[in-house]
Structure 1
Amino acid sequence: MTWLLIALGVLCTVPWRMAAQNIVEVNGQNLTLPRLELQEADWERLVGEIPDWPLSAPGHAETRRVAAKLEAHVLTFLEGYPWRPMHHTLGISGYETAFGHPDEMFYALALTLPYLSQPLATRVREFGRAQMEAGVLPFAGRGPDWSKGRPREAYEVPEGYRAGAPAAARSLFGVYSFWVWCHATGDGGLARRFWPRVKEVVTPLLKSNYTFDPLKRDYENDEAEQLNGHLAGALGYARLARLNGDEGAMQAVRRRGLQWLQWRVDLERLNPKILEKSTRSASKSLHNNKLARYCALTPEIGAALRRHAQPVAAQRLAAFRWERNGWWMAFGDRLVGGENYTNPLNFSRSLFAAAMFIEAVPAETLVGWVDIPWCSGDYYFMEKCALVLWQAGGGKWKPMAE
């Protein structure tokens, strides 16, 4: 009886919030580095180096398998379009809705183009251009109304549980998606035609008082994900400005882009808390956690973090993954922490991108983490397949053409 009373007394001294959240932090939480002052040359390098996407998939057996799965998945996506956003029940956090905004659609499809058969790649290009002509734009503030589309899920979702309103853009990530699409398709005309509308989206944020504190450890609204998206958007904006010969826009984005890059590098070097609470990415906030700083992570930003935040950035990630074996599985058990049934979709996507670009995990390991799609038209699956194929082909970079 005495021991029982002691045990109850200990439990009562633990803060309820900490006990209820049931979150296991990663080993090496104190891994930090001194602040590194970035220079304008660091921004120019970010803008000027792009992934060198090969014209076909490497010829190894495993990568051929991935290329075949990618081909089939993209074909299914085109033939079933339009699709409704994916509804995924988490558990105590309620549900999340994925793939509701076209920014991720254009980004994922653009990455697949070098690895699709010529007939399918042509269909994808025609599809994307037709969507933009119809007003489905990756940089729009809100996505279309997909309510009449096909269900993505392999299970029935009662209509009353689905999100009703069109998805809002989380950041400027769609501007980066637009640049990737124009670059991958070689459609400079599209980049010039929509340039005034892109400027209307970006200019207010460049002039705003938007700020981010890299040392803050209690963010709850996916602020680091938003920073990644804004930084990616600034990167895409700078490249579009160069393509359009808009020197004023290039000057305007240079100062803010460098500032956002500095914040992102500071976050990785100074702040070791990589797992955060999220109140925005699911219908309920209880026990909902996220690797927000690795969401919306593009190849260029990941490579910059590898340059400027080593070795601690890779060490933290490796330790985090090691403690969560099976993190890459679709509908995997709740390894992100908390008391949900499954991981959120962003968990495996963010860890995959971070492992590839920041840890520089080799392709022969990455290929085993592709797994199966979560649903029909899984943009994260398309992205992972394309990135594995790029890495298997050498993962090379090249200067962006003027």
Structure 2
Amino acid sequence: MDIPLAEQLRPQSLDEFVGQEHLVGKGKPIRRMIENKKVISMVFWGPPGTGKTTLARIIAKYIEANFVSFSAVAGGGVAEVRKIIAEAKKNYGLFQKTTVLFVDEIHRFNKAQQDAFLPYVEDGTITLIGATTENPGFEVIAPLVSRSQIYVLYSLTEKEIETIVKKAIKFYPKHKFEKEAVEHIIKNSNGDGRTAINAVELSASLSKKISLKIAEEAVQRKAIFYDKKGDWHYDTISAFIKSMRGSNPDATLHYLARMIKAGEDPIFIARRLVIFASEDIGNAQPTALVLATTAMQACHMIGWPEAGLILAQTATYLATAKKSIASTNGIMVAMGDIDELNLDPIPLHLRNAPNKLMRSLGFGQGHIRYPWKVERETGRKIIQEYMPKNLKGKKYYIQDWK
């Protein structure tokens, strides 16, 4: 069976490893840990193709430990964990050889499965290295997180991808890669080293002469990493909203395009637009809420791909609209006062007076129902107190636009 190019190219040492200089560079934490041969359990958090598995293998090699790979995707359960632990105890007892247990996609394990690792991490039977594309603070149980060091791995830069692509191309000395083809592979790998290597391998299988057209065929499209239930999902919608708030329609369209390409639910995006129209624009431009609500209804009726046009129109309108948080701040402060202050009685004249007893107690007495009408007809200014006694004169709604 042919070994995939990505596996053939897998670095065997820190000197061959590309990227993550903040972790493996001179004097950086993982390099120091390896050099001192004092490795603790850790979790690697980052997008695909950034070197999580490779780095775990290198660590095990440097400290001369057994490397055992375990994946949630492959369906490993608690019984398999126990077998691995038993073997690790045996190796340590007979040969004084430690075991590095690499758990890929650790966020996919349920609580019981993650709990199974815990005692053996605590007593040093295994050194656990977990890999996840999800925030470990949410997806990994707290006891494991507290006993591990969390390291964040970042998408590779174009320069780092270029280094990897050049190494991959050397495996095909009889092939000719045109400059434009190589640039296309680098730019469309989206910081994912594995995607870049796979694109080179596929290009080489399609033709001996790799033109831009062949590279485009191999890459197909940019490999957008976007888990709808994960951090990248929330990071993208956050950037989208903040771009609208910052009145930047170009950035707004960029993040909208990311979500469209990733197949995000158009109604999810539309709901955020409705909320934004009220929260961040409010009465500075009240038509924003009308447009956003209409857009959500239209997206519901139409769906992809045409919903993208409706979302683009609405998002750019909201990005370029006047902004106001007067009503948003007002209701937040008012609700805060409900929590913090005493609730003084509602003024008698504002209370409902459905019967004779209530009216005899002064409910509704002296209330002018349409003060604006009286003022218009008489020219007399009507002053009527609406606030409870302890909030008299309190201002919640303060206009903040011109």
Question: What TM-score comes out, normalization by structure 1 length?
Answer: 0.24
Bigger relative contact order (CA 8 A; separation at least 6)? 1
Question: What TM-score comes out, normalization by structure 2 length?
Answer: 0.24
